[in-house]
Structure 1
């Protein structure tokens, strides 16, 4: 299985991708970890060819779970994927999540990719996840729906989650498709 998890900033893509990868015992390819270099250097801006090369190398594997909405590699990742999980939550849910995540990361000084840490002053930037999630939510939702309606995506098994209560059912369905026999209790222990 090759699974891509998409959704706007703050939807919980990485968290869910990690859960799926652990459940199915598949490698997790975190696109943010490939993109963000030391000092918040954005590889997609500074060296897009290198970003594409690294992602292409990572998805050569027979099975994986990845997460992210990186346009430069979407046309490479989606055709190779077998399943797509779309976290299509309402804007208030997204905003609550991204604000909470940002707050805790800043307070706890959580190390992210390549030693980067979120800082309070970063919230003033237009590209900060809080502002980005608010400004791109509607467009991202429309674009994802339009893209999934295209013939090029007909091969994908799509799970469109509109509520977080649908996560466990999706995990169960993916586990079943992969031939993994787990009870809810066993799945809960793996979280």
Structure 2
């Protein structure tokens, strides 16, 4: 299963919940791109990234979540039994970005990155870019998989599919 959506759409929460409910491991695409180190993140080479992604999608079952829909991710869309496109309302995503940043700064929520003001403002840019460009690109590039794409505007509507 592949879950795609913008920053703050609920991808990680949904992936984590489904992983626990279905006993399937989940993977964040950001962690495929980056090697996480206490001293700072290191970007994987294209070859390392491709090898890591391939190892995930060749396993028996998996849930991948992320904002990425570039060509390097196409194999996971092709191999997925189900693609969930989270199309959460833009204002809800904006609220979640603010809420997440505050929780991270107050050490109430863990993050894979250092929650800086720069990243905070980048999240708004990434959210807008996904809304205007990423969403269009996804449907243009992956419409061949329309039979297995489920567009979800509210994650509570997913309960009927997995319970």
TM-score of the superposed pair, with normalisation by structure 2: 0.84
User: What root-mean-square deviation, in Å, do the aligned CA atoms of Structure 1 and Structure 2 show?
Assistant: 2.1
**Unmatched segments (≥5 aa) in structure 1:** 176-181, 183-191
1:27 paired residue among 22, 25, 29: 25
Is the 2:97–2:120 Cα contact (8 Å) retained in structure 1? no
**Unmatched segments (≥5 aa) in structure 2:** none
Is the 2:7–2:93 Cα contact (8 Å) retained in structure 1? yes
Answering whether residue 132 of structure 2 is matched by residue 138 of structure 1, we say yes
Work out the number of aligned pairs and report it. Answer: 159
1:107-149 alpha-carbon deviations (Å, 9 max, x no partner): 3175433xx321235445xxx2232212332212212232342
CA displacement at 1:158 relative to structure 2: 2.1
Return closer, same or farther for 1:143/1:168 CA change in 2, 3 Å cut-off.
same
Return closer, same or farther for 1:72/1:49 CA change in 2, 3 Å cut-off.
farther
Higher Rg of the two aligned structures: 1
Mean alpha-carbon deviation: is it higher for 30-39 or for 5-14?
Answer: 30-39
Q: What SS does the corresponding residue of 2:150 show, helix, strand or coil?
A: strand
Answering whether residue 152 of structure 2 is matched by residue 161 of structure 1, we say yes
TM-score of the superposed pair, with normalisation by structure 1: 0.73
Answering whether residue 72 of structure 2 is matched by residue 69 of structure 1, we say no
